[in-house]
């Protein structure tokens, strides 16, 4: 049920996430956009799992786990970078040029 | 040799309370004691009243070799006499006398206006018995309206008769007498005739040692101990009576004469006594104002003075006229003159009210309510001001109304000025303590103080310089006029303006030759006559 | 109180002990404190609280506006304007006490020659606004709480 | 007897929603009064007793006052989030109650009505989800106030709630293992079947859950986020009037739902002890009260009086936990922040994990021995759990685990110096 | 009924996503993302993934987003923000790329019914999951495969989490 609509919604959200990653400079918001992309994919998995089988949901579970790990490491990185540069603007993370 | 002889014959040497004193022969013990700082209690004796009935019996002192106590106010000292005012007998006697006084005196100090400045209160507190022994009911007279400003509480009277004797001997208008005898004796007026109309009757309230005679004007208004006393000069006529401003809550509550034997003795007239309310008037100018495109705008002093100096300098070429009020001090008037001088000179005018006649005090020669009802007309004359106007301090404004140059008005309320007053002037500077309709066209309105708020001097009718002191706090931004005017003058000439009243007074010496070198210290608290000639030539 | 040796301090038992204590207080009807609104702390006869003006039988204030209380008041909290009524008696036209400024020293009561103004045994003075703490003459006369006995006239030691 | 369906189901559900929400809010109001009165009695005072008989109208007066009070909002606050904070705080607290069964099913002419607002298939997970959202309200409120105390309170609160959520969830795992499902209705049923309330066979989980629930709820001794003395009440420092009230209502609603949850999870929910008449559960579309020896279901007999009785039992159990909350609050002092974190991460979580192992192992052994799910089953688990709990409490009752203020000083010199050196090198 | 809810939640999710991308304030962005996540949780429920819906809220909204919020506050970006949305060229690029992506996805999934039909041969047919959930319950349905067929990946994720925790602590504690 609602398969096509769910997939379209998933696509829209993924596109929004992609757009956000491209146009935002704030590293934290870029991270948030990536989370949105992951969620869009999750939605696709769940939608399809209705027809394909419960394994899709299991995979979503793993995606969430990875997302949690990614968030922890990513945020730790942002904190570390922020300590060094005093900013979270990705344009200023020019490690080689500092 | 002759000196010692003179001493032996004209002076006597005596000992009062262990202190030796040499006084002229015929001096009373009371005066001699005063000289060594011993105050002998008394009620009936008053230094301003010639008669000495010695009837209050408070001043009884022990005199050696005299078996009985002697009244100090009438007993002259003898050579070698030894007087003890604090001897056991004298003290016992005074205590007994006070107990007698308190037999019939009501203990209504809480509601008595004299409370706090009452001699009976003071003496009883100092020497009286702790507890009364009287059990009999006190006789009751109630109170009596004596007319005029005076109210009489018969119960409180100690029968010193100062009031009766004042009316007889100083006012020479015998309207009071003692009626009845013994403990029923009481002061009374003659039938229906009260004190109304007597120009000096207010003084009997001052000299009453207790609360028997109180002022209706001051009745229940303030407590005596709350009042601050500031030495000043009565501003209501050119006699220049020395007075005290009695102040509470930054308002003058009453005026009291201040003894000065050269001017007013111990007295002042009711006319002056009653006219103090204007010093408390709330209709004051409280901020310096500058007219900008037709509207008055409040500005700070520095800006007002700077702009006034500029405007005055620009308009001075068309002539300068200054109209000052003789209610302002010599310092203020001299500052006005100095400002006019700095602008290249011009006419200095003043107006003052003249009463129809003088009101002389028969018993004190030299004291009168003078015709000129302003304190400093003489000072204005001396500083080069010319009297204009009629006896109501009005008229003669035509010259000012049409004047086209600089117009300076200090203190004159301009009550008779028409609506166009000042429109012609290029620069119209108006400095006045009180608001006035005549300021409507003024380019600069400066808030200045009254005499009660500033230090300064008045010159009385006889050319006597007398100082007064500030008793009130100036409202708002008000400053003494001399400060403001001198500041403008200084800005025009590049001189340094005086910063204290004493300095401002010394500056007068540059303008008036007679005052050259005279200082506040030389004038002192009781004033000083102008030296030599008083013709008032202006430099 | 001594600190227990390291490793000997109790946490669970102490917490339970505390909870037992509070529970005992919860159920115990015999309170050790004054149960305030119902039960009031008995004030000393010399307790000095907000003021009260005594009145004559005909409702006039006993005050004769002598001015001694504003004079003696160390906090300068009394405002008094005296006047004369139709019978020639001195009386207070304005009599205000700023209870916020008042330090409750009781000197006004001590100095009063006609025993008109008193400090009283009263302490519940909550109001909704500050200006209500300036007690005017009517309010002072309307107070009916017991007045303070600054000293016992029959016992010279207390004076 | 059938479940209600169709229009009757919609009407019944709406009625339950309205009634439950009203009752929750009303209870919240009166819990505030109860708390104040009980606190007063514990401290030998009177408490609010002036508004209405025994002060019963006090909560209404307070509510009116808060409605009429001036709303203040700090000049430098983020207006929108400042408003959002209290709303986000109130919402989860009131919604959680939806999944709590509060009485035995009620028979009506149109069918049997379950006495639960929404019997979600994810049950307890829904509770966890919503209580994890509660932190947003507090964090946003504290952050949007633009006040350093509020902000500190918010940070503490988020850290504390995230930490204790883990312990809460882990202590629940034991319950889930024993219940075999996540819906709360089934948990009640399983407790009825076991003849043991889970508080006994899962005693340590119960203890950990209670402690974690206290911490989740920011109640003493874990009220660090609002610590009056250090943070001037923390995240709601800048709030006034109705917005403050919403935080307040949220806190008490949390207290109520937590109490109801503890009653449901560990004290058998609406179950009346030692009486089988109230046992009923939907099995395959029929309301059964149990199974006979052959495993055939016995039909239950729902009745309105059973519903009423079970509702009273549920209320009594919930009230007990509410009382416990209040009792603890007015007895125990506040932890230090490092102690809170220490307790959460280094004591509660490992203990919960170990306990899961223990219970899991025990269940495995019992199942392997083919012990029937019943009294004996529960007895064995109770014995194991009580031993574990005793051990835990014994260890906890020493200052090795939660140190006093002078713990650092009491450490050996070298260790202390090394700590100092580390600090120095960090600077 | 379910359709109405679906479209409502979809609108909320898209609105949240757009809000997240356009908000200047990181906290605002984050809250919009939380809105999207919550809406997705609702859609999961409609798609018979009850357990995932709960986990979505617990893990994403309740833990990961709180972690983000915590970091935003820890960095104390305060209440004044530099606008960090890139300028014209990047915008054009963003629109172009995401448009392209959208186009591809639309083309790929655009067929709706046919597409699902194309994918379906692999599957157990519509309603397979629902039946599974009916049989076991919401948790049991997913627990079965996870702890039987995917036990090794499940355990590996725990190792991943452990590594992530250690890594995060090391990164956050040290200055680089």
CATH T-level fold of E1-119 = 1.20.120
Touching chains B and D? (3+ Cβ pairs < 8 A): no
Q: Cβ of C35 under 8 Å from any chain D Cβ?
A: yes
Give how many domains chain A has, as a whole number: 1
Write out pLDDT tens, residues B234-293: 999 999 999 999 999 899 999 999 999 999 999 999 999 999 999 998 889 999 999 887
pLDDT band at A10 (very low <50, low <70, confident <90, very high): confident
Note the pLDDT of residue C7.
Answer: 61
pLDDT band at D425 (very low <50, low <70, confident <90, very high): low
D to E CB pairs, distance under 8 Å: 81
C to D CB pairs, distance under 8 Å: 59
Q: What are phi and psi of B231, to 5 degrees?
A: -65, 135
pLDDT (mean) for B502-527 = 87
Note the pLDDT of residue B1.
Answer: 42
Q: Is there a contact between A39 and E30 if contact means CB atoms under 8 Å apart?
A: no
Q: What predicted TM-score, i.e. pTM, was given to this entire model? A: 0.67
Write out pLDDT tens, residues E93-110: 777 777 777 777 766 665
pLDDT (mean) for D169-191 = 85
pLDDT exceeds 70 at position B329? yes
CB-based contacts of D406: which residues, under 8 Å, 6+ apart? C3
Write out pLDDT tens, residues B276-320: 999 998 889 999 999 887 788 899 999 999 999 999 988 888 889
Task: DSSP letter for C92, please.
Answer: E
Note the pLDDT of residue D403.
Answer: 59
* Average model confidence (pLDDT) across chain B: 89
Residue B523: name the closest of B537, B508, B539 by CA. B508
**Residue ranges covered by each domain of chain E:** 1-119, 121-176
pLDDT (mean) for B84-103 = 92
Touching chains A and B? (3+ Cβ pairs < 8 A): no
Q: Which residue has the tokens 């600090």?
A: D423
CB-based contacts of B141: which residues, under 8 Å, 6+ apart? B153, B154, B155, B157, B186
Nearest CA in chain B to C88: B143
CATH T-level fold of B3-99 = Ubiquitin-like (UB roll) (3.10.20)
Task: DSSP letter for E24, please.
Answer: S
Note the pLDDT of residue A76.
Answer: 86
Nearest Cβ partner for A23 among E64, E67, E91: E91
Those of residues 34-93 in C touching chain B at CB distance below 8 A are 64-68, 71, 82-84, 88-90
Decide if D260 contacts D101 (C-beta within 8 A): no
Judge if the upstream peptide bond of residue D221 is cis by omega within 30 degrees of 0: yes
Q: Return the residue in D220, D398, D411 with the most chain C beta carbons within 10 A, the one to mutate for interface testing.
A: D398
pLDDT (mean) for E104-121 = 56
Write out pLDDT tens, residues D16-32: 889 988 988 899 989 99
CATH T-level fold of B108-113+136-226 = Alpha-Beta Plaits (3.30.70)
pLDDT (mean) for D319-329 = 91
Higher-scoring residue by pLDDT: B339, D268: B339
pLDDT band at C1 (very low <50, low <70, confident <90, very high): low
Note the pLDDT of residue D417.
Answer: 58
- Please report the DSSP string for B141-153 in residue order: --EEEEETTEEEE
Q: Is there a contact between D393 and C12 if contact means CB atoms under 8 Å apart?
A: yes
Q: How many CA atoms lie within 13 A of E154 on its CB side?
A: 13
- Please report the DSSP string for E111-130 in residue order: TTHHHHHHHGGGSS-TTHHH
pLDDT band at E58 (very low <50, low <70, confident <90, very high): confident
D331 to chain C, closest Cα gap in Å:
6
pLDDT band at D98 (very low <50, low <70, confident <90, very high): confident
Nearest CA in chain E to A26: E84
Q: Which residues of C touch B113 (CB under 8 A)?
A: none
Note the pLDDT of residue B158.
Answer: 92
Q: Is there a contact between E71 and A78 if contact means CB atoms under 8 Å apart?
A: yes
E31 to chain A, closest Cα gap in Å:
10
pLDDT (mean) for E141-162 = 86
Nearest CA in chain C to D325: C19
D342 to chain C, closest Cα gap in Å:
15
Percent of chain B with pLDDT over 70: 97
Note the pLDDT of residue A98.
Answer: 45
Higher-scoring residue by pLDDT: B453, E142: B453
Note the pLDDT of residue D427.
Answer: 45
CATH T-level fold of B288-529 = Rossmann fold (3.40.50)
pLDDT exceeds 90 at position D276? no
pLDDT exceeds 90 at position B30? yes
Nearest Cβ partner for A80 among E30, E47, E171: E171
Q: Return the residue in B106, B111, B228 with the most chain C beta carbons within 10 A, the one to mutate for interface testing.
A: B111
pLDDT band at E135 (very low <50, low <70, confident <90, very high): confident
Write out pLDDT tens, residues D115-131: 888 888 888 888 888 88
pLDDT exceeds 80 at position E39? yes
Note the pLDDT of residue B474.
Answer: 92
For residue B182, count other CB atoms closer than 10 A to its CB: 5
pLDDT exceeds 50 at position D383? yes
D254 to chain E, closest Cα gap in Å:
16
Q: What are phi and psi of B243, to 5 degrees?
A: -135, 175
pLDDT band at E125 (very low <50, low <70, confident <90, very high): low
Q: Which domain holds residue A10?
A: 3-90
pLDDT (mean) for C66-78 = 91
pLDDT band at E78 (very low <50, low <70, confident <90, very high): low
- Three-state secondary-structure class, residue B257: strand
Note the pLDDT of residue E175.
Answer: 58
pLDDT exceeds 90 at position D371? no
Q: Read off the CATH number of the domain in which A10 is found.
A: 1.10.287.3510
pLDDT (mean) for E138-149 = 81
C81 to chain B, closest Cα gap in Å:
8
Cα dihedral B29/B32/B37/B40 (nearest 10):
20
Higher-scoring residue by pLDDT: B403, C80: C80
Note the pLDDT of residue B214.
Answer: 93
Q: Which residues of D touch C32 (CB under 8 A)?
A: 44
Q: Which residues of E touch D121 (CB under 8 A)?
A: 50, 133, 137-138
Q: Is there a contact between E66 and D158 if contact means CB atoms under 8 Å apart?
A: yes
Write out pLDDT tens, residues D296-312: 777 777 888 888 888 89
Note the pLDDT of residue B536.
Answer: 43
Q: Which residue has the tokens 């000012």?
A: B400
* A neighbour chains, 3+ CB pairs within 8 Å: E
Nearest Cβ partner for E17 among A3, A16, A52: A16
Higher-scoring residue by pLDDT: D427, B424: B424
Nearest CA in chain C to D335: C11
Nearest Cβ partner for D41 among C13, C26, C37: C26
Note the pLDDT of residue D307.
Answer: 86
pLDDT band at D224 (very low <50, low <70, confident <90, very high): confident
Nearest CA in chain E to D169: E58
B to C CB pairs, distance under 8 Å: 30
Residue C143 CA to residue B332 CA, distance in Å, equals 56
Q: Which residues of B touch C73 (CB under 8 A)?
A: none
Note the pLDDT of residue B539.
Answer: 31
Residue B167 CA to residue B154 CA, distance in Å, equals 18
Q: Is there a contact between D41 and C11 if contact means CB atoms under 8 Å apart?
A: no
pLDDT (mean) for A60-72 = 88
Q: Cβ of A63 under 8 Å from any chain E Cβ?
A: no
| Chain D residues within 8 angstroms (CB to CB) of chain E | 76, 78, 81, 84, 120-122, 125-126, 128-130, 132-133, 135-136, 139-140, 143, 146, 151, 154-155, 158-159, 162, 165, 181-183
For residue C10, count other CB atoms closer than 10 A to its CB: 14
A9 to chain E, closest Cα gap in Å:
7
pLDDT exceeds 50 at position B537? no
B110 to chain C, closest Cα gap in Å:
4
Q: Is there a contact between D121 and E53 if contact means CB atoms under 8 Å apart?
A: no
Nearest Cβ partner for C65 among B109, B220, B226: B220
Residue A57 CA to residue B324 CA, distance in Å, equals 104
Lowest mean pLDDT segment, chosen from C25-29, D310-314, D420-424, E59-63: D420-424
* Average model confidence (pLDDT) across chain D: 83
CB-based contacts of D417: which residues, under 8 Å, 6+ apart? none
Nearest Cβ partner for C26 among D38, D398, D404: D38
Q: Which residues of D touch E74 (CB under 8 A)?
A: 155
Domain membership of residue A56 (yes or no) is yes
pLDDT (mean) for D78-87 = 84
Touching chains E and A? (3+ Cβ pairs < 8 A): yes
Residue B157: name the closest of B111, B209, B196 by CA. B209
pLDDT (mean) for D366-372 = 85
Note the pLDDT of residue E69.
Answer: 84
């Amino acid at each position: 049920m609602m398969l096509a609509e769910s997939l379209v919604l998933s696509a829209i959200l993924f596109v929004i996430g992609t757009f956000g990653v491209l146009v935002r400079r704030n590293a934290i918001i870029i991270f948030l956009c990536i989370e949105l992309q992951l969620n869009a994919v999750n939605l696709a998995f769940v939608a399809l799992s209705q027809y394909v089988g419960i394994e899709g949901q299991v995979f979503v579970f793993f995606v969430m786990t990875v997302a949690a790990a990614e968030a922890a490491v990513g945020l730790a990185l942002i904190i570390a970078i922020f300590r060094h540069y005093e900013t979270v603007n990705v344009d200023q993370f020019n490690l080689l040029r500092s | 040799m002759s000196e010692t002889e003179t001493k032996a014959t004209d002076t006597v040497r005596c000992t009062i309370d262990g202190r030796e004193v040499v006084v002229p022969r015929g001096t009373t013990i009371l005066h001699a004691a005063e000289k060594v700082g011993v105050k002998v209690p008394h009620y009936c004796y008053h230094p301003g009243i010639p008669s000495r009935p010695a009837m209050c019996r408070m001043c009884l002192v022990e005199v050696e070799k005299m078996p009985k106590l002697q009244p100090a106010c009438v007993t002259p000292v003898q050579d070698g006499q030894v007087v003890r005012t604090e001897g056991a007998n004298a003290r016992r006697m005074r205590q007994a006398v006070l107990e007698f006084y308190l037999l019939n005196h009501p203990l209504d100090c809480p509601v008595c206006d004299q409370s706090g400045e009452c001699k009976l209160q003071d003496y009883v507190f100092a020497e009286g018995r702790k507890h009364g022994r009287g059990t009999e009911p006190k006789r009751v007279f109630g109170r009596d309206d004596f007319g005029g400003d005076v109210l009489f509480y018969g119960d409180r009277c100690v029968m010193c008769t100062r009031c009766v004797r004042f009316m007889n001997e100083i006012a020479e208008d015998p309207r009071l007498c003692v009626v009845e005898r013994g403990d029923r004796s009481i002061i009374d007026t003659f039938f229906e005739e009260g004190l109304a109309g007597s120009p000096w009757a207010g003084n009997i309230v001052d000299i009453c040692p207790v609360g028997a005679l109180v002022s209706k004007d001051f009745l229940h208004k303030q407590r005596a101990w709350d009042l601050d006393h500031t030495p000043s000069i009565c501003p209501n006529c050119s006699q220049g009576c020395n007075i005290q401003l009695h102040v509470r809550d930054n308002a003058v509550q009453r005026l009291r004469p201040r003894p000065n034997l050269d001017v007013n003795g111990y007295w002042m007239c009711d006319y002056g006594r009653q006219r103090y309310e204007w010093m408390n008037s709330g209709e004051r100018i409280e901020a310096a104002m500058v007219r900008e495109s037709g509207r008055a705008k409040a500005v700070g002093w520095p800006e007002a003075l700077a702009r006034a100096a500029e405007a005055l300098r620009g308009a001075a070429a068309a002539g300068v006229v200054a109209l000052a009020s003789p209610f302002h001090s010599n310092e203020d008037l001299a500052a006005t003159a100095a400002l006019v001088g700095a602008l290249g000179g011009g006419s200095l005018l003043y107006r003052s009210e003249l009463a129809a006649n003088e009101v002389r005090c028969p018993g004190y020669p030299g004291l009168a309510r003078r015709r000129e009802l302003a304190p400093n007309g003489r000072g204005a004359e001396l500083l080069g001001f010319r009297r204009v106007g009629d006896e109501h301090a009005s008229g003669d404004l035509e010259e000012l109304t049409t004047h086209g140059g600089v117009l300076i008005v200090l203190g004159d309320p301009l009550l008779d000025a028409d609506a166009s007053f000042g429109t012609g002037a290029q620069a119209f500077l108006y400095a006045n303590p009180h608001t006035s309709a005549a300021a409507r066209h003024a380019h600069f309105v400066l808030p200045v103080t009254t005499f009660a708020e500033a230090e300064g001097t008045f010159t009385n009718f006889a050319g006597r310089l007398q100082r007064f002191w500030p008793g009130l706090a100036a409202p708002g931004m008000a400053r003494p006029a001399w400060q403001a005017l001198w500041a403008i003058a200084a800005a025009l000439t590049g001189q340094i303006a005086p910063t204290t009243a004493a300095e401002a007074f010394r500056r007068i010496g540059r303008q008036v030759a007679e005052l050259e070198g005279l200082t506040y210290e030389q004038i002192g608290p009781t004033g000083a006559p102008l030296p030599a000639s008083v013709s008032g030539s202006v430099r | 109180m001594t600190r227990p040796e390291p490793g000997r301090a109790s946490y669970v038992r102490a917490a339970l002990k505390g909870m037992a204590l509070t529970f005992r207080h919860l159920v115990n009807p015999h309170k050790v404190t004054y149960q305030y609104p119902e039960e009031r702390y008995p004030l000393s006869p010399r307790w000095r609280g907000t003021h009260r003006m005594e009145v004559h039988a005909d409702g006039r204030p006993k005050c004769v506006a002598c001015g001694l209380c504003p004079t003696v008041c160390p906090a300068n909290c009394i405002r008094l304007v005296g006047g004369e009524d139709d019978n020639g008696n001195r009386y207070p036209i304005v009599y205000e006490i700023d209870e916020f400024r008042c330090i409750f020293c009781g000197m006004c009561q001590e100095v009063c020659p006609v025993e008109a103004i008193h400090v009283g045994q009263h302490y519940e003075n909550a109001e909704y606004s500050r200006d209500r703490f300036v007690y005017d003459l009517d309010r002072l006369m309307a107070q009916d709480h017991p007045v303070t006995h600054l000293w016992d006239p029959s016992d010279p030691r207390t004076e | 007897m059938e479940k209600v369906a169709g229009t009757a189901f919609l009407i019944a559900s709406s009625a339950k929603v309205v009634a439950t929400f009203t009752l929750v809010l009303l209870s919240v109001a009166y819990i505030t009064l109860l708390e104040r009165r009980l606190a007063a009695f514990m401290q030998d005072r009177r408490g609010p007793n002036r508004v209405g008989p025994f002060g019963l109208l006090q909560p209404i007066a307070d509510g009116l006052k808060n409605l009429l009070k001036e709303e203040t909002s700090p000049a430098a606050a983020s207006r929108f989030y400042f408003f959002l904070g209290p709303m986000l705080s109130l919402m989860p607290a009131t919604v959680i109650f939806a999944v709590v069964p509060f009485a035995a099913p009620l028979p009506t002419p149109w069918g049997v009505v379950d006495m639960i607002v929404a019997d979600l298939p994810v049950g307890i997970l829904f509770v966890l989800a919503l209580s994890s959202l509660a932190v947003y309200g507090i964090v946003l409120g504290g952050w949007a106030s633009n006040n350093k105390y509020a902000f500190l309170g918010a940070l503490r609160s988020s850290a504390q709630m995230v930490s204790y959520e883990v312990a809460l969830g882990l202590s629940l795992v034991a319950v889930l293992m024993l219940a075999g499902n996540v819906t709360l209705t089934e948990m009640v049923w399983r407790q009825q079947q076991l003849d043991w309330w889970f508080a006994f066979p899962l005693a340590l989980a119960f203890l950990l859950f209670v402690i974690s629930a206290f911490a989740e709820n920011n109640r003493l001794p874990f009220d660090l986020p609002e610590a009056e003395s250090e943070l001037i009440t923390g995240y709601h420092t800048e709030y006034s009037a109705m917005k403050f009230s919403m935080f307040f209502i949220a806190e008490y609603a949390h207290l109520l739902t937590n109490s109801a949850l503890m009653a449901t999870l560990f004290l058998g929910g609406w179950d009346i002890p030692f009486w089988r008449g109230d046992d009923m559960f939907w099995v395959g579309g029929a309301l059964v009260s149990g199974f006979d020896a052959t495993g055939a279901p016995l039909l239950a007999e729902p009745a309105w009086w059973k519903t009423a009785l079970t509702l009273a039992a549920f209320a009594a159990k919930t009230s007990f936990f509410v009382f416990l909350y209040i009792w603890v609050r007015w007895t125990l002092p506040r932890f230090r922040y490092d102690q809170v974190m220490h307790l959460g991460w280094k004591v509660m979580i490992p203990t919960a994990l170990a306990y899961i192992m223990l219970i899991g192992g025990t269940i495995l052994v019992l199942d392997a021995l083919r012990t029937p799910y019943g009294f004996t089953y529960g007895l064995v688990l109770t014995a194991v759990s009580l031993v574990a709990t005793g051990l835990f409490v014994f260890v906890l009752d020493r200052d090795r685990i939660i140190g006093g203020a002078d713990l650092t000083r009491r450490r050996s010199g070298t260790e202390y110096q090394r700590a100092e050196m580390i600090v120095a090198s960090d600077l | 009924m379910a359709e109405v809810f679906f479209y409502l939640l979809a609108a909320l999710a898209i609105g949240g996503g757009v809000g997240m991308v356009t908000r200047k304030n990181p906290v605002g962005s984050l809250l919009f993302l939380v809105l999207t996540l919550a809406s997705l949780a609702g859609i999961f429920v409609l798609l018979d993934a009850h357990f995932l819906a709960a986990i979505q809220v617990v893990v994403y909204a309740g833990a990961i987003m709180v972690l983000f919020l915590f970091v935003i506050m820890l960095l104390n970006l305060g209440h004044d923000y530099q606008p960090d949305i890139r300028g014209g060229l990047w915008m054009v690029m963003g629109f172009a790329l995401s448009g392209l992506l959208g186009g591809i996805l639309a083309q790929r999934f655009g067929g709706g019914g046919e597409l699902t039909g194309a994918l379906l041969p692999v599957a157990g047919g519509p309603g397979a999951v629902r039946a599974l959930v009916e049989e076991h319950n919401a948790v049991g349905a997913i627990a079965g495969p996870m702890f039987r067929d995917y036990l090794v990946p499940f355990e590996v994720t725990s190792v991943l989490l452990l590594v992530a925790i250690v890594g995060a602590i090391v990164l956050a504690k040290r200055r680089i």
